[in-house]
Structure formats: C-alpha cells, structure tokens
Structure 1
C-alpha cells in the first residue's frame, strides 16, 4: 500500500515550503526499513545558519500523545478508571456536579465541556490577555513568566462551560490535559513530567526527548519565529520561552527521529497494551484549536488519504514552532515534520485566517511524505 520513498520528491516538496515563506523546516520519513531525512532553509534568519534534520524542537501538543499514554498505563495497572469521574481523584480542582459528570476519558478526548484557559477562547481569562483582542504584546510580556498550573486549571474551570460533559462536538482545551497531569501526580506520587519521562520517553528509548528545565532549548535547535497573523512583522524569535503556560499539555522538546520512533512503538503495542491502543483510536467529533471540526481519539487523531489507509498521530504548535507526526495504521509508513514559523496567515476583516502559499506547500509535502 502506498509508494516507496522518493527522496528527490521529498527534497523538492521541502524546498517548495521554504520558498513559499517558511524560514526553515526539517523532517524524517520512514517506509519499512528505509529512512529519509531532509531539511530546507535556515535556523536563524540573521546569520543564515541552516536547519538540519537532527535538530531538537518544541513539539507543542504532540506532547498530548505522551501524556495520554502515561494515563493509559496507569489505567492498565488499575490506578485510574477511564470512566471514573475526575471529581473522585481531584475534588478540589473540579468540585461538585461537574466533578461527578466529567470522566477521565472526557478529559483525554476533549469532551469535558471545560473551557480553554487561553484567552482566544475566553477574553476574561488572565493568561496572555491581549491575545483575545488578537494583540501579541503579552507573548513578550510573559516570555519568562512561571505560571502555576493549579491557577490555570482554575481559570478554565471557572469559565463558562463550552459544552455538556460527554456531549458532541467537544472543544479542544488545554485545561483537560493540565488536569490529567495533576491526576498522574495524584496516583503516582511523582510529578507528571517524571512519570511520563520514566514510563513513556525512557520506555520508548527516546534519547533526545525531554521536558524543558527552563526557558531554553538545550542542544542544537532552530530559532522559532512567531508572526501572530502578520501583526509581528518581521516575525519575532520566541525560542527562549518558559513553557509553564502549557506544562505536560504541550511543552516537550524532541526530534523528528524520536517522534517517528515513539509512534512506531506505540502502534506496535510496546508503549500501551493493544486494548489501550484500540481505546486511543476510538474517535469523537471535536472542534480543534483552529476552529475546525475533526475526529479525535485519546491523544491521537486520524488523517485519511484517498485509498491509502488511515494515518494516526498529532500536530503541535508553540510560539514560533510547529510540528506534525503521523504513522500509517499498519505501522509501516511514518513521517515527522518540524517548522520554525507559526501563524503566517493574515486575517480578513472578520478575523478569519486567509489562505497563504505555505498552506498549499505543506499540504503537498504531507501528501508526498505519507502517500508517495
């Protein structure tokens, strides 16, 4: 199924994304035992230092797959019930009727009805407040702010609900995953970061994946350029940024090779059991962070190509950085892509992102990487 790796076509597709306006991007594609790695463009627009395929990168919400795997491992051990109300574990964080109605599974698949604490969902919330008015100033103001996760959860829980628990469509919300991190802490007696590191990252043998100890990315990496829908011009480097505003929801640093390895081992049943993997692949309808309806499982979502089978994985964005990792359901073909510019689209008069040449070039790259 699908076509063998075509390195020349992949190189050309990468160059087209760079030419369309992406400063730099890099990727790894695997097909069985064959591996292609490539990079195009620069890691630093000032010095012209090139990107390389082995660079470390902030992977954003791809972290959610890692966090979900750690929760499912605890479920397999009988310490967590997926359909147990979160109020049984964390009554102080989700009290009362909502704590009784929202299950662990609803947190993982974003059907809890809990609001996003980030203010593009609710302007009254305090984290990055001026983003609600599409102003980027608070990105700079909070570069080195150390956010308290309990406070962030409190904002999401206190905001008006965005749906009824278990109702469809759900709404993507980082509040859910900060709660899952507290749940891991409660049942394991260690931090969520330690639990995920020991039970997922180390189990998968990922040598270049870690939670950041501070605001810097250690080791070879690209600068990360945030455009905030054309309002930061030229785009500003946000590679130094305290990631406590998302924590175990979206703060991991990894490489494209490590991501392909993780998803390969996950689908091979080496991270969670086959029955847990089957639960991860049971999808519900939710509205993504970009406002688009998508099918979402437990820390995974599917992408489908014409007649080529389903790919499972996750995407991620941080200030200035984006990534996508996908693996075919049979485990034979996988891709991981990282890029160093975000929110390149301008907004129209109603505030909707306008099409940009980067969008089409990336879609072509993904098609070549996944389907040949």
Structure 2
C-alpha cells in the first residue's frame, strides 16, 4: 500500500513532547517530500504553540480524531504508551513510525506485528541508530573481520540536561497530573503482570532496558541477528544491568546498561573483537544533530599495530530514518527497522530480566 507521490506525504505527529519537538517536527518540516498535516497532544498550550510555529491548523487532543483526518497519510507515534496508538494506526490504514519500544511487553507487541504485516502498511520502529552513517560504515568493517571472539556493548549514556540549551522546547503545564499518573500506573501494572511475582522487583531495570537499552539491543541485532541465549544476568543496581548473551556460532556478547550517569560526555559504544582486528563504534549524543557515530579500527600494519579513526558522515540519524520511511512508502525500499525487530528486542529484554534470580519486592527495597 503506498501513498500518492504527486504531493508531499501528510504526517500527523502524535505526542508533541521532547523528541517530537527536537527531532521529528523540524525534520518533517524541512524535507520537501513531507508536510506536517496535523498535531496531537494532551496539552492545548503545546498544540497551539507548535501549530502556530509550523502553520498547522489541524490540532487534536485525541489521536482517534487525528486518524479520521483525510489529510493525514502517515503518523509518527511519540506518546508514552505506544501499543494502543499503533493498533489504531493500523486500523485506520496509516503508515507509521513508532518510537521505541514498540509496546511494553512482547505479549502486547505480537498481535501488532501480525496486524501490520497483514495490512501492507509501512511500519517502522524508531531505532534511529541503525540509520546512523557511522554505524552503517562499522557494519562493513565488522563483516570483514570474520567470526568475532567477543562483543562488548556498553551504555551509561550521560547527562540528559546539557543538550536542552541547544533547542527551544514548549512544555505544557495544562495537563492533568492525575491523568498522567494513572496512565503510568496502568502500564506499571501490565509490566508487573508480565514479570510475575518473582521478578516484579526488577521493574525499574526492565524499563531501563526498554527506554535506554533497547537501542543497544537493536544495534546488536542489526549486526549479529537475534541473540540465541542469555547465559548470565546481574542486577548491579536498580537501573544498572549486566548480561552475557550468546549469538550464532557461539559468539558471546557482554551487555552493560545503566541509567543515571552524570558524565559530560556520551558513554555508549560497541566493540567487536576479531582474531586479528578490532572494530569499535562510539555513538554520539542522540539529541545533537549532525553528529554521526565514530568508528575506530585496530588492525595490523605489516608486523606492527595500527589504529584508524573513521568519522561518520555528518548527518542526523533521525533524518535518514525519515528519508528511508519515504522510500518505503513509495515502494522503493524495504523497511530496515520493521516491527518484528521491536518484538525481538522485547522478547530478549524479558529473557534477560527473567534470567535474574527471583527476588521479592521487600528484598529490592532493602
């Protein structure tokens, strides 16, 4: 199913918070193949401020109303709870990009994957790092080193307040706090049910894996496929996880994800150790535009060592993601980040958490 190519794709933005304002809206606005057709948010003040800024008259508080707008060909889903909006998008016949995670549990995601596949719609999970030109370059170098001896993925991130001075963001103060809290509690209940009584104490760790670590699961999968085993997991802290994963041909990977580091740098990297060469990808702060991942190669130079640094082409991964989305809608490309990948990552996240020893809630509090 494809949208008309004689006019720009009309994009509805559902959830006009930080990532929508910092990345999606400016990029949609600047790409000639796209047009911001409608906005949806709980905050009337945010809707009016962004609507006036971008010249968008169609402003909705309920995403169901947006889906009935004939000017909307596709949507980007940036809400807190993605699953119900994804379902509504498929039912409405709208192409979409959904920010990660696809849903909060694999059980919720499975019917969405099946429905999207049956619909023929273009449906992408917003794993923008897989579009990063530095990451794409690194995949070529990783393929050249043969079977890895070991893979390491490390993500402590960094400060989440420094980049805000680079942008102007509207923050609505007119949304009922009780409504937001009720939504968060409802999601927490679904997650707790999935984890079961023996692992509910790890709910914060699971959410860390979904909100921060899902990008790391995605870049691992993009390079090596879906992990076959989870041989070890340790909860270092309430939002600090270590795990040992196994990939095809018994290749091991050490994964470490932690939220809360106050570094003045962005601390996220993947290193692939081969028999004679090593490839490292240093990811840049995802909130800074035109900063691609940096690839570092360690290899032989004659009988001695050599190290090369290959900076990725200056580009914003979110922009490349949108360009790929346009090509998919027009039938010119196949989805690089389909919903199945989002489901694979949710299933792996659950396997990692359930590899941890059973623990009661009162033990976690202690």
User: TM-score when scaled to structure 2?
Assistant: 0.28
Q: Name whichever structure is richer in strand by fraction.
A: 2
Greater relative contact order: 1 or 2 (C-alpha under 8 angstroms, separation 6 or more)?
1
User: TM-score when scaled to structure 1?
Assistant: 0.28
Larger Rg: 1 or 2?
2
Q: Name whichever structure is richer in helix by fraction.
A: 2
